[in-house]
Chains A and B, each alone.
Chain A
Amino acid sequence: MLFPCPFCGPRDETEFHYVGEPKPRPEPAGTVGEADWADYLYVNANPRGPAREIWLHLACMDMFVMTRDTATNAVLGAETPGRAS
């Protein structure tokens, strides 16, 4: 299975590491309660179907968002946050 690194192009999936779901960190940290921190750290949407996921390409260390169908494993797109890819 090939994953698309926004910089390197298609590379074998073994070169990639799953990082997590893209979601905003609750701020400011000093005012965030335990329940909200736990939600942020451990509660994921984990949708069936198209999902946005953060992945790291271990070769070039590019961190990017890949949209992937979790039911079929089909890759639907990849983009680097803050950079047109």
Chain B
Amino acid sequence: MRETNWTPARPARGILAARPGFAARSVAGLGQTLVSGDLDAALAALAPGAPLIGLYGLAPDGAYALRVARDRALLVTPAPIGPADGWRQGWCATAVDDGWAAVDVEGDGAGLVLMQGTSADLAAGSPSAAVLFAGQRVLLARRPNGFRLHVEAPRLEALLKWLDGA
């Protein structure tokens, strides 16, 4: 395979992959904002009350933030919030609404997909929600009927290809 021949990316909407036992569905319309620096101050200003969650923490229906590193997180809101880019009072925001994709994997087989995708000890927890899943760096959250992956948009097609074969 020539490395210049990239698989055309499927449009990131609707059902993205479906196999016996699970379906992967695009979570459309979310606001996604990368925040750096003082995370508590950033969340208080941008989305008061949004929980800061780590690896495989429960993502609520409302706003939440997935911690990436000591001083970085991805704030997820039900709709784009249009933050002013740049630094202020110790923190910085960057809107990446469609720069990142969100995928819900749901169904009876979702747990098995999760075990195949990552070797992380999800029961043990971890401050960072970032993990390698199917070889891709993703942010992983738990959902009532499965799990949610946030991934940089250019990596989505590779992730879906893997899900096609899961």
Contact = CB atoms under 8 A, between A and B. Distances in A.
Interface string A2-41: 0001011111101100000000000000000000000000
B127 A9 contact: yes
Given A7-B69, A7-B70, A60 B121 contact: no
A10 B127 CA distance: 11
Interface string B121-142: 1001011101110000100000
Contact of B70 (A11, A15, A58, A62): A62
Interface string B42-66: 0000000000000100000000000
Contact of B137 (A5, A58, A62): A58
B15 interface: no
Contacts, number: 42
A60 B69 contact: yes
A58 B120 CA distance: 13
Contacts of A43: none
Contacts of A62: 69-70
A61 interface: yes
B149 interface: no
A59 interface: yes
Interface string B101-131: 0000000000000000011110010111011
B75 interface: no
Most buried by B among A5, A12, A62: A12
Contact of B132 (A5, A7, A9, A15): A15
Interface of B: 55, 68-70, 118-121, 124, 126-128, 130-132, 137
24 contacts: A7-B69, A7-B128, A8-B126, A8-B127, A8-B128, A9-B124, A9-B126, A9-B127, A11-B120, A11-B126, A12-B118, A12-B119, A14-B132, A15-B120, A15-B131, A58-B132, A58-B137, A59-B128, A59-B131, A60-B68, A60-B70, A60-B128, A61-B69, A62-B70
Across the A-B interface, give the 3 residue pairs with the lowest CB-CB distance, nearest first. A59-B130, A12-B119, A60-B128
